[in-house]
Amino acid sequence: MDRRIFVAGTAAAGAVLTAGTAFAQDAYPSRAITLINPFPPGGAADVVGRPLAAVLEPILKQPVVIDTKQGAAGAVGAQVAASAKPDGYTLLVHIVSLSGFAEVDRIYGRPVKFTNDDFIPIARLIADPMVLLVNDQVPYKTLKELVEAAKAKPDSLLFSSSGLHGALHLPMALFNKTADIKMKHLPTNGGGPALTALIGNNAQVLVSSFAAANAQIKAGKARPLASFGAKRDPSHPDVPTLKELGYDIEFYLWVGLFAPKGTPTEIVDRLRGEVKKAVVTEKFESAIKNLGQDVAYLDQADFKKFWDADAKRVEDAVRTIGKI
């Protein structure tokens, strides 16, 4: 082949391809959008992501599909999203623990596969404050009693969690550090088993989200001692916050929507606008209400601010746990 023809042909092909891309951008979204859910079905990201997908579909006039890529406590899905083509057709729904993976890898001397910088925050959807629970078989009625008991006999109490460095382990680690107490850690393989361990008195303490523990609190099987929110939870006004009790800790089980780094700003802005519309629809609000939560929407700028502060907390918690 003549070199000149080759160059011309390549240029022409390039022009066509560019035109094609430009056209696709005009029409975004021109095909189905995938929301990656990095947790098992029924997890926090799933139960928020599905109603969001359902209300986004009519707004974007394209199918919004949930793709479950579970594994390694949410790291697999995050990695898939981080390496996806940043064209706005692959988005990620992730939770508070997203900020911890890089730090864990650093502590264990493993190559860091992705950091928070690999994701563009689009919106925060919910933020459920965590709550510190004891089961009904231990006598502690207040946080003070629990702390005193733990101080008197270090490592005599057990707390359960959804797994090492998981969303239920991190806040407990922060609290133990701030209160200067020691408890033993009983990791399980999920939020459900962690709650089962608490109720069956195989563990005595658990930090959980209000939503997951509500039924057990109502039945008197689990006693809430303190909330990790900035303010008292409206549905549990008698539960004091850790800040009131003198511990400067906040921790939320939040769910946010992210795009991979490099996604064009126009597309991100379009998504921000549509998500803003979606979260105030009655369908979405009632779906979240049914979960025992409230929509805690934050747009990009506020979410970024919140996320940066939150990442510091998470990294601090991971370092507190350290290498085991």
Burial of residue 185, with CB atoms counted within 10 A of its CB: 0-12 exposed, 13-18 middle, 19 or more buried: middle
Among 33, 56, 75, 120, binds another protein (CB under 8 A): 75
Angle between helices 44-60 and 282-290 (to 10 degrees): 170
Give the separation between CA 225 and CA 239, rounded to whole angstroms.
Answer: 6
CB of 86 to another protein, least distance (A): 20
Q: Mark the segment that binds another protein (CB under 8 A) among 61-69, 223-231, 255-263, 309-317.
A: 61-69
Give the separation between CA 194 and CA 205, rounded to whole angstroms.
Answer: 10
Residue number, 47 or 275, with CB nearest to another protein: 47
Among 24, 25, 62, 67, binds another protein (CB under 8 A): 67
Among 29, 163, 229, 256, binds another protein (CB under 8 A): 163
- Which residues ranging from 18 to 47 are in contact with another protein (CB under 8 A)? 40-43, 46-47
Give the separation between CA 121 and CA 98, rounded to whole angstroms.
Answer: 12
Residue 199 φ/ψ, nearest 5 degrees: -65, -35
Task: Report the SS3 class of residue 126.
Answer: strand
- Which residues ranging from 117 to 136 are in contact with another protein (CB under 8 A)? none
**Binders of another protein: how many residues, by CB under 8 A?**
61
Query: Residue 282 contacts by C-beta under 8 Å, 6 or more apart in sequence?
Result: none
Is residue 320 a contact residue for another protein (CB under 8 A)? no
Is residue 85 a contact residue for another protein (CB under 8 A)? no
Is residue 319 a contact residue for another protein (CB under 8 A)? no
Mask 246-265, x = binds another protein (CB under 8 A)?
Answer: --------------------
